[in-house]
Amino acid sequence: MKKYTIEPEYHGYKVGDYLKEVLGYSSRSMRKIDIFLNGKKVKPNKKVRKLNRLLVKEHNKGTNIEPIKMDLDIVYEDKNLIILNKEPYLIVHPTKKKVDKTLAHGIVHYMKEQTGEITVPRFYNRLDMNTSGIIVVAKNGFAQAFLQNKEKATVNKYYQTIVKGIVEEEEFVIEESIGCVGESLKRELLSIEDGGQTAKTGAKVLKRMDDQNLTLLEVELFTGRTHQIRVHLSSMGHPILGDELYGGMVDSVKRQLLHAYKLIFTNPDTGEEETVTTTLPDDMERIVKGEVIG
């Protein structure tokens, strides 16, 4: 439930236009709310007057995901968002093969403790099971729609990763379309004509570990294709360390060393830019500090 007071400059607006243009609601999210002006339920074409009291109540969106208590590493929270630092080896959402103890189960439990209701977890982004780092969960449809509205919200995602080999360029951008062939889980560079999707990845060198023939990179995603970072870096001859699927397998490294470490986003409530960062997980930190891998 959200409460607003209509500012004088929006006197005469239709309430639906006010919700879309001023508050950032989408047409889709508007179908999932009830609107009240001065305590009376109204339709979106109702005109508002200055200083009207506006109340927006979302329809409860239930889920069959069972609540499971988990230790969640929450790095940011407000009335609209939860931002977590996901540990490696944890699946974000139930799949056909994994239906219990995913991050979604923990979020459902956490929200139930807060609100007393079981509600669907609204993930803005997802990470592969073995990728660690920042996950954004919207607490309501408004926040979800706001972050997805590219005209109103900026969401920039940054990763750190350790790759095989010494990367010579200080900074570079890869723009190569990506797709899958047949039923394979593996993605590959694939032309648009053959069914690929446009993909753009930027990267810069943070540290070269010459003694181990490894490089620590910061990576920025401009698009969000499945396995995008893994495919792009592998295509230039620098697969992510530990990435069995794309040529980075090492016996002593149990996962692809990819960590979503920083998020710059527009706060749905204030419209201000915010930055959230996390530290590297232990397995990556040890290598960066000089631990020799087998």
Which residues form the catalytic set?
128
Residue 269, φ and ψ in degrees, nearest 5 = -85, -45
Residue with tokens 């900074």: 171
User: Could you give the 3-state DSSP secondary structure of residue 94?
Assistant: coil
Would you say the C-alpha torsion 264, 156, 143, 280 has a positive or negative sign? Answer: negative
Q: What share of the chain is helix, strand, coil (3-state, %, to 5)?
A: 20, 35, 50
Q: DSSP string of 180-207?
A: E-TT-S-EEE--GGGT-B--EEEEEEEE
- The Cα–Cα gap between 213 and 261 comes to 23
Whether residue 277 contacts residue 259, with contact meaning beta carbons closer than 8 Å, is answered with no
Question: Which token pair is 141?
Answer: 């449809």
Task: Give which of 136, 129, 133, 134 is closest to 101, Cα–Cα.
Answer: 129
Q: What angle do CA 277, 282, 287 make, to 5 degrees?
A: 105
Question: Which token pair is 142?
Answer: 């408004």
How many alpha carbons lie under 13 Å from residue 105 in its C-beta half-sphere? 14
Whether residue 95 contacts residue 44, with contact meaning beta carbons closer than 8 Å, is answered with no
Strands 258-266 and 132-138: parallel
Task: Give which of 224, 72, 191 is closest to 137, Cα–Cα.
Answer: 72
